[in-house]
Amino acid sequence: MRGALPELGGAWDLYRFTGVDAAQMQRLIFTGPYPWWTQPDIRASFFRPLSSALIHFDVNVLGDHVPLWHLHSIAWYLALLALVAAFYRRVLPTPLAAAVGLLFFAVDDAHWMPVGWLANRNSLVSAVPALGGLLLHLRWREDGFKPGAWLAPLAYAVGLSGGESALGLLGFVVVYELSGVPDGPLTRRLRALVPLGLVFVGWAVLYRLLGYGARASAIYIDPLTEPLVYLAAAPGRLAALLGSATLNVGSDLWIVMSRGRALLVGAGVLGTVLYALVLRRARPLFSEPQWRRLRWLLCSALLAVLPVLSTFPADRLLLMPSLGFAGVWASVLIALWREKGGLARFARGLLVWTQGLAPLPVWVLGPYFLAFGARYVEQGVNHTTVSDEALAGDVFLVTAPDPTVGMYASLERQLEGHPAPRSWHTTSFAPYDHRLTRVSEDAIEVAVVNGRMLDTVMEQLFRATRFPLNEGFEVTVRGLVFTVLEASEGQPTRVRVRFTLPVSQLTLLQWKGGRLARFELPPVGSTVLLVHEESPLDALRRAVDF
């Protein structure tokens, strides 16, 4: 590796994105790059020791060969597909349905990011052992394979050490037993859930004791500590994800939409209604035992969506639910293949298009756009005329074009081997023009033009709008004091920045021409307009929102 970043939680705790305690979080705000409006007690930390260990494997064993890291992720996906194939052969009505189900699952565009984005490999790492645990549970309950009684909970525990995604597959076991798929009295089925329950409780207690979870962020919501906030956000997020699972309308657009989110919600409602009609048409074509298993898969898939509603909608969150959805859609397609009538023909076309064909382009376009955005930041922060010496001091980026630059610019430079800044602060990430006024030798005021701060999801990563920033709010960081002068519904529109270090000791920057550039303060009493330069996120927002 050309450079390394300081670890928040330690070598085996790489998914802790906030400080381990209040003191460390305060330091991250004081020196940056966490922005000045960050809620001091924010928490976004996730228990993923196995996934952390595999990142160390990439770095220390595979070395600085990124293509090998991606092959590592692909190997996990191939292992997952092998387990999915075994699962579908066991639970779906026919071998042909199992084959088509595997195809639907393999090409599902919700999977390209866990496979292609190294930071999201944890979803695969948690899914593989968890699905292995589900298969072991089925062998124990249906084939009398007694070692499965203890091997299955062990596999679930391994899956949970990879990431929270394993929770989605645990729901498959719960629904399996409670819905009466296996034979036997209810008491026996409840006893079969005891080992799984012990694993879950042990994991949950450990999760809390070690300080993992989420708080104060609009992106991550902890349903246990903030249940009302979760319930308020859940319906819209659920509808957007169901729109992706049914009509293949990408829920990833949620992050760049505001008014347009209604379209994603509408797509989810429409897709749910259409698929309900298709399922009703196909129901008489299955025997009761077959339908019981399909109903189990469908209910489990819906249950698996609930844990991921704790964050904003994104197709990659559907990895676990897609195990149930793909199997049901494939079984329905095969059952309706020779059926006559307009609804049957419509259903076949809908399923073939949304589940088999429409996902394919995303496997190409998704990585392209992700790489394009990464290059935008990389080139803009590393190919600058500002010297390394200046950027190793106290850096003040007056405004950033978007959060990726405002938050990650200093981190990207460190990864490329440049020295770490003494401090890194930004006034605003808001995607609007800003008006800067020099009010004194040691102070400026920055006003958002025709907008306000904290309007976008990524700005709210650090502070949800339910923690308002009203007039008079003030915070002191290294070299600067930020004071909110005007706000609209708790979101700042004008901020004063007072310099507590001599201006000559600060490296003042702006984003100009797609890169970091020096910024010269205007004379006292003068005002300049900082024109917002369109970023890739802005271009996408302009294309899809209204």
**Residue from 414, 453, 424 nearest 34 by CA:** 424
> Mind listing the pLDDT tens digit for each residue in 527-541?
999 999 888 777 777
- Dist. CA 386–CA 389, nearest whole Å: 8
Summarize pLDDT for 442-458 with one digit per residue, the tens: 999 999 999 999 988 88
Q: How many residues are present in the chain? A: 546
pLDDT digits (tens, 9 = 90+) for 391-433: 999 999 999 988 888 888 888 888 888 899 999 999 999 999 9
For 53, 87, 114, 138, 366, the CA distances from 75, given in Å and listed in that order, are 16, 18, 12, 25, 20
Query: In sequence order, what are the residues at sequence separation of 6 or more whose Cβ sits closer than 8 angstroms to the Cβ of residue 231?
Result: none
Per the CB < 8 A criterion, the answer to whether 213 and 207 are in contact is yes
CA distances to 44, 209, 416 from 116, rounded to whole Å, are 23, 33, 21
- pLDDT at residue 265 tops 80: yes
Residue 376 pLDDT level (bands cut at 50, 70, 90): confident
Give me the amino acid identity at 463. R
Contact status, residue 156 vs residue 168, Cβ threshold 8 Å: no
Question: Going edge to edge, which strands form the sheet with 423-426?
Answer: 423-426, 394-397, 506-512, 515-518
* Per-residue pLDDT at 1: 42
What whole-number distance in Å separates Cα of residue 250 and Cα of residue 257? 12
Each domain of the chain, given as residue ranges in start order, spans 49-369, 389-544
The predicted-structure confidence for 453-488, as pLDDT tens digits, reads as follows 998 888 888 899 899 999 999 999 999 999 999 999
Treating both helix axes as pointing N-terminal to C-terminal, what angle do 66-91 and 122-143 enclose, rounded to 10 degrees? 20
User: Per-residue pLDDT for 4 more than 60?
Assistant: no
CA 288 to each of CA 138, 181, 211, 276, 513: distance values in angstroms, whole numbers, following the listed order:
19, 11, 46, 18, 65
**Residue 449 burial class via C-beta count within 10 angstroms: exposed 0-12, middle 13-18, buried 19 and up:** middle
Q: Do the bridges between strand 474-477 and strand 423-426 make them parallel or antiparallel, or are there none, so unpaired?
A: unpaired
Burial class (CB in 10 A: 0-12, 13-18, 19+), 291: middle
Give the model confidence (pLDDT) of 50-83 as tens digits.
Answer: 999 999 999 999 998 999 999 999 999 999 999 9
Residue 229 or residue 298, greater confidence: 298
Assessment of whether the complete model's pTM goes beyond 0.85: yes
Q: Give dist(CA 394, CA 418) in Å, integer.
A: 15
Tokens linked to 168: 């989605």
| pLDDT score recorded for residue 183 | 79
Q: Is 455 helix (H, G, I), strand (E, B) or coil?
A: coil
- Backbone conformation region of residue 14, classed left if phi is above 0, alpha if psi is from -120 to 50, else beta: alpha
